[in-house]
A and B are shown apart, each in its own frame.
Chain A
């Protein structure tokens, strides 16, 4: 399947691994065949992030609260140690990243532009706690567009440029239009809702609780701006959920929290979708 807007990211089926839930890929490999699978990495930053204090992941009704704090080894270590393995495993790798300034967005894109085997990037503008982790504040559509424009200028045309925006049914259209005009190939609608840990620390809420919210955002966006390709993400645990998002107009979906619950989930979804298609 060559979904519109995904460019070099050719998908054999519409299910991808969402950012932050595929580990380094090695952990997922025993459960899911990575060959041909769209794999979005955890969000990478310029420098390594040790991540937040414990506990980092806590249950809440119908969702997981997480305050992992962008735990990642930094882009350079990722490129040297993790990317080659993922590419060898056959994954269609999309690097999720975020930066703290526009200049850093350009710099990171420059590093990514020549990474062997990469098929695309995903600019993460949907972190529920951008300030807490020192990320560029892209809440205003204008700022979101500036970040995407900085990436667009450095990114080779043949790499897919996905931009992940908050699953916010109220502001999603403005934001999506702004980043599309700035050069985004497709918009990923999803990621965590802003929430708090039981002890009050800022957190994200992911999982089933997000699905109706993300569904509303996807529907609004597809209806209002049908020219923008949308990848949907949020609370997928069954092939029904995938079909619902596709019926709402998404060109593909990403699966995240469900993998923490059942690491074989993608294999099952793909199998179910094939059975009934």
Chain B
């Protein structure tokens, strides 16, 4: 680990990770396990990569020290060696044509969206970013985002910055005003469900990066299943770590998710 930075309530860990930046695409993640006595892996979205920093290829992940395993990672000393595996998982699919895109994230789930915004911009897609959080301290990457995308809308539950409320309150109107042709979102199932449903009812396709526990991250344990409905309307299960974490929103069987 090269450095631990602060971003409000979050920590941004910079890690030397040879090989990861080259294969990175937005939405992919790395896993690491906290110690030999804790056996399940923890998945972290890759926030940013630098293929050629002064320390060689590096990545950044965002950690919430308020969560039990997040505290473990956030407290590690600079210089600690961590066994990382990644990048893993299926990334966001990028549109072939330049279409307007709405990106929606809350709290640390904004982490994978910034790199996505960059790649969308490179394809000349006008990007609107809707960022939500409990309060000002839990807002991530708003300043960088302002430089990067056409429009940034901020929502906090306590109203300390931007509009008061939750992101779902604004998805409908932003889909309309930005004429978005696609919606991208990331977060826990309970957090992104409303966002994806609004996209569905507005006939806008969505790409959802699901945050579910991933005990191995590599497809071996079958501990991360998500119920989906195939093109053939047949329900089946996929693993969030290998067939996801990014899934088309209309495929996800929200009723079957915790």
**A186–B220 CA distance with the chains assembled, in angstroms:** 26
Within 8 Å by CB of B242, from A27, A56, A58, A68, lies A27
In the assembled complex, how far is the CB of residue B258 from the closest CB belonging to chain A, in whole angstroms?
A: 6
Task: Give the size category of B's interface with A.
Answer: 20 to 34
Known: A59-B38, A66-B223, A71-B222. A51 touches B242 (CB 8 A): no
Query: Chain A residues near B225 (CB, 8 Å)?
Result: 51, 54, 56, 71
> Which residue, of A63, A237, A259, A263, has the highest number of chain B Cβ atoms within 10 A?
A263
A101 within 8 A of B: no
Task: Name the residue of chain B whose CB is nearest to the CB of A257.
Answer: B39
Known: A59-B39, A64-B39, A64-B40. A23 touches B258 (CB 8 A): no
A134 within 8 A of B: no
Within 8 Å by CB of B219, from A27, A56, A71, lies A27
In the assembled complex, how far is the CB of residue A169 from the closest CB belonging to chain B, in whole angstroms?
A: 23
Task: Name the residue of chain A whose CB is nearest to the CB of B38.
Answer: A59
B128 within 8 A of A: no
In the assembled complex, how far is the CB of residue B240 from the closest CB belonging to chain A, in whole angstroms?
A: 10
Interchain Cβ contacts within 8 Å, total number: 86
Query: Chain B residues near A259 (CB, 8 Å)?
Result: 216, 220
Interface contact B221-A31, CB-CB below 8 Å: no
B213 within 8 A of A: yes
Interface string of A129-172 (1 = CB under 8 A from B): 00000000000000000000000000000000000000000000
B33 within 8 A of A: yes
A12 within 8 A of B: no
**A4–B220 CA distance with the chains assembled, in angstroms:** 29
Q: In chain B between 180 and 230, which residues have their CB closer than 8 angstroms to a CB of chain A?
A: 212-213, 215-216, 218-223, 225
Interface contact B220-A64, CB-CB below 8 Å: no
A207 within 8 A of B: yes
Task: Name the residue of chain B whose CB is nearest to the CB of A26.
Answer: B219
Interface contact A261-B41, CB-CB below 8 Å: yes
Within 8 Å by CB of A260, from B36, B212, B216, B237, lies B216
Interface contact B39-A28, CB-CB below 8 Å: no
A196 within 8 A of B: no
B75 within 8 A of A: no
In the assembled complex, how far is the CB of residue B180 from the closest CB belonging to chain A, in whole angstroms?
A: 31
Interface contact A57-B220, CB-CB below 8 Å: no
**A44–B216 CA distance with the chains assembled, in angstroms:** 21
B83 within 8 A of A: yes
**A195–B38 CA distance with the chains assembled, in angstroms:** 18
Task: Name the residue of chain A whose CB is nearest to the CB of B237.
Answer: A50
A62 within 8 A of B: yes
- 22 A-B pairs within 8 Å (CB atoms) are namely A21-B220, A21-B221, A23-B219, A24-B219, A27-B218, A27-B220, A31-B218, A50-B237, A55-B258, A56-B223, A57-B40, A57-B213, A57-B216, A64-B39, A64-B215, A71-B237, A208-B39, A237-B36, A257-B39, A260-B39, A260-B218, A263-B216
With A22-B220, A23-B219, A207-B39 already in contact, 7 other A-B pairs whose C-beta atoms are closer than 8 Å: A26-B219, A28-B218, A28-B220, A58-B215, A59-B38, A64-B39, A262-B83
10 smallest CB-CB distances across A and B, nearest first, come from: A57-B223, A27-B219, A260-B216, A57-B215, A23-B220, A56-B223, A59-B40, A23-B219, A71-B222, A263-B218
